[in-house]
Amino acid sequence: MLRKIAILLAVFASLMFSATVFAKETKTAAEPFPLIEGYGTVKPMPATSPPVSKYKIYKVIFDVSKGNDPDEVNSGLEAVAQAVNAFASAGVSKKNLKFVVVIHGDATPIVISGGGYNTRFHVANPNNDLISKLNAVGVQMLVDGQSLIEHQIEGAEVNSNISETLSAPSTLVIYEQHKYQLYMP
């Protein structure tokens, strides 16, 4: 009888040790919040409905077409930063955020980098910092090639963090076929 109790205690101790070791091995450090500093302000909320799963992959394509004052950060890009920070506040890793931004229409000039923006608008591009931060967390940035032509923006003027695409409509259709959810801020 004592032998059975000793065996059970040994098995129990072994299981407890294994569980402790496993828990230490799988624990990962949380990513800093907010992921995008200075933009897209979000206040963390403990319980929301619907609940946000930190294990799900979120695929969103943002349609950014509205322009604004040349000396202000584009509100559509600000909305993308807010979405990144909202998911991060719920514990979703940036690797689970598959976010794509398509810039076109009146928003197109926000893609101009360097002196080209200053030459056109007499102010430095206020969007460059946010574009860099979005790129750093894995947000893919695209600009409609047709809008570049319409706004007479040369490819060499486009921010290096932004890729040119055929057109906004074709890009939106392609990503929606790949199960991306459309968001129009």
Average pLDDT of every residue of the chain: 86
pLDDT of 23 strictly over 60 = no
Is residue 82 in a domain?
yes
Is residue 53 in a domain?
no
pLDDT band at 9 (very low <50, low <70, confident <90, very high): very low
- The predicted model gives 118-134 an average pLDDT of 97
pLDDT band at 8 (very low <50, low <70, confident <90, very high): very low
Number of folded domains that form the chain: 1
pLDDT band at 46 (very low <50, low <70, confident <90, very high): confident
Is residue 20 in a domain?
no
The pLDDT of residue 19 is 38
Residue-range definition of the domain harbouring residue 117: 58-183
Two tokens, residue 122: 């007499």
Task: Return the beta strands (E) in the chain as ranges.
Answer: 58-64, 97-103, 140-144, 162-165, 181-183
The pLDDT of residue 114 is 83
State how far the Cα of 130 lies from the Cα of 144, in Å rounded to an integer: 19
Is residue 75 in a domain?
yes
Is residue 72 in a domain?
yes
Is residue 52 in a domain?
no
- CA-based torsion, 45, 46, 51, 53: positive or negative: positive
Q: What is the pLDDT of residues 59-96, one digit of tens each?
A: 999 999 999 999 999 999 999 999 999 999 999 999 99
Is residue 1 in a domain?
no
The pLDDT of residue 30 is 58
Q: CA dist 2 to 21, 26, 131, Å?
A: 28, 36, 69
Q: What is the pLDDT of residues 132-141, one digit of tens each?
A: 999 999 999 9
State how far the Cα of 185 lies from the Cα of 183, in Å rounded to an integer: 6
- The predicted model gives 22-45 an average pLDDT of 70
Cβ neighbors of 120 (< 8 A, separation 6 or more) are: 70, 109, 112
The CATH number assigned to the domain holding 175 equals 3.40.1260.10
Q: Enter the DSSP assignment of 127.
A: T
